[in-house]
Structure 1
Amino acid sequence: MASLMENLLDVLEREHKEYEKLFQLGQRKRQILIDADVEELEVLTEREQDVSSTLRNLENKREQIMDDMSVVLNRKKEEMTLGKMIEILDKQPEQQSRLTEIRTKLGATLKEVSAINEQNRVLTQQALELVEYDLNLFRSFRQAPETANYNRNAYNTGDLLGSSGFDTKQ
């Protein structure tokens, strides 16, 4: 059980470091989005994907360790959470305090990552809205206004004026 606990603490520490990297990348992404630097955004996105892949592997490893602990402790897999592990370790205060500390640090870092991701989502959405506005503006420059011609069912025919914007044939 002690080796499983050491493995769990090690994986949680490594997860925390990866989430800190993700937070730093998120802060950098915010500035890149503000600067609208597409090339740098591509590079940063690749780095984020690498960190996410590492996190996914660590998560799988953590889940496997928790499954092994549930077998050793004769508990259901579903009830094996970090909170439950902290309760179980009440006779081992050193490991209990280490687990509590890493859980607290990990929770705080996850909140920071979540907040920066929300800010970046809003910035990305605003950037997309601005691009859409620009595209609509450019399209409207190339399109002439519609005439007020109606067919016999009183529907607008949608005829466009000439592209020059000035009709010289009158």
Structure 2
Amino acid sequence: MASLMENLIDVLGKLCDEYENLLGLSTQKTPVIIAGDLKELSKITDEEQIVVSIINHLDRSRQEAVRDIANVVNRDVEDLKLANIIQMLEPRPVEQQKLAVVYDRLTEVVGQVRRVNSQNRELLSSALEMVEFEINMLQAVKAAPATANYNKGAYSSGSVIGVDRSDFDAKQ
């Protein structure tokens, strides 16, 4: 059982490290989103994908460790959460303390990643709304109604309300 706990604590520690890496990348992404630097955003996103892949691998290892502990203590793996394992370790205060510390650290860093990602999601949403607004404005200008101006031959002169299709006027 002791080696199973050490394995779980080790995996959780590695998960914390990777989430901290992800937090750093997400924090770097915020000013890049604000600046609209797509090249740098793509680079950071690629790095995030690597970290997320590592996190997924470590999470599978965490699930295996919890499954092994559930088998040893004869409990259902679905009901065995980290908080329950910490409570079960009361007779072993050293292991309990180590697990509680890494659990608190993991909870804190995951909360920070969620907060930063939520902020980045809002920034991206605002940027997309602005792009959509600009596209709609350009389409509206192109779709402005034509005036009913006719020339001497009774043909429409083709002028559009609000749009001057002539070249730059240097006299103005």
Q: How far did 1:164 drift?
A: 3.4
Structure 1 residue 59 corresponds to structure 2 residue 59: yes
Q: What's the counterpart of residue 72 of structure 2?
A: 72
Q: Measure, in 2, the Cα distance between the counterparts of 1:25 and 1:56.
A: 17
Contact residue 86 and residue 99 of structure 1 kept, 8 A: yes
Q: Measure, in 1, the Cα distance between the counterparts of 2:91 and 2:157.
A: 86
TM-score (norm 1): 0.85
Structure 1: unaligned runs, 5 residues or longer: 149-160
Q: What's the counterpart of residue 33 of structure 2?
A: 33
Q: How far did 1:162 drift?
A: 6.9
Identity of aligned residues (%): 37
Structure 1 residue 131 corresponds to structure 2 residue 131: yes
CA distance 1:47–1:163, shift in 2 (3 Å): farther
Paired positions, count: 154
Q: Measure, in 1, the Cα distance between the counterparts of 2:135 and 2:111.
A: 36
CA distance 1:6–1:94, shift in 2 (3 Å): same
CA distance 1:163–1:5, shift in 2 (3 Å): farther
Letter in 2 for 1:104: D
Letter in 2 for 1:80: L
1:78 aligned counterpart, secondary structure: coil
TM-score (norm 2): 0.85
Q: Measure, in 2, the Cα distance between the counterparts of 1:87 and 1:164.
A: 79
The root-mean-square deviation of aligned C-alpha atoms, in Å, is: 1.8
Q: What's the counterpart of residue 159 of structure 2?
A: 164
Letter in 2 for 1:65: A
Letter in 2 for 1:130: M
Q: How far did 1:146 drift?
A: 6.4
Contact residue 144 and residue 163 of structure 1 kept, 8 A: no
Letter in 2 for 1:106: L
Contact residue 146 and residue 160 of structure 2 kept, 8 A: no
Q: What's the counterpart of residue 167 of structure 2?
A: none
Structure 2: unaligned runs, 5 residues or longer: 149-155, 162-172
Q: What's the counterpart of residue 112 of structure 2?
A: 112
Contact residue 30 and residue 120 of structure 2 kept, 8 A: yes
Q: Per-residue CA shift, 1:124-146, capped at 9, x if unaligned?
A: 00000010011111112222226
Contact residue 15 and residue 55 of structure 1 kept, 8 A: yes
Letter in 1 for 2:4: L
Letter in 2 for 1:32: V
Q: What's the counterpart of residue 94 of structure 1?
A: 94
Contact residue 144 and residue 162 of structure 1 kept, 8 A: no
Q: How far did 1:163 drift?
A: 5.2
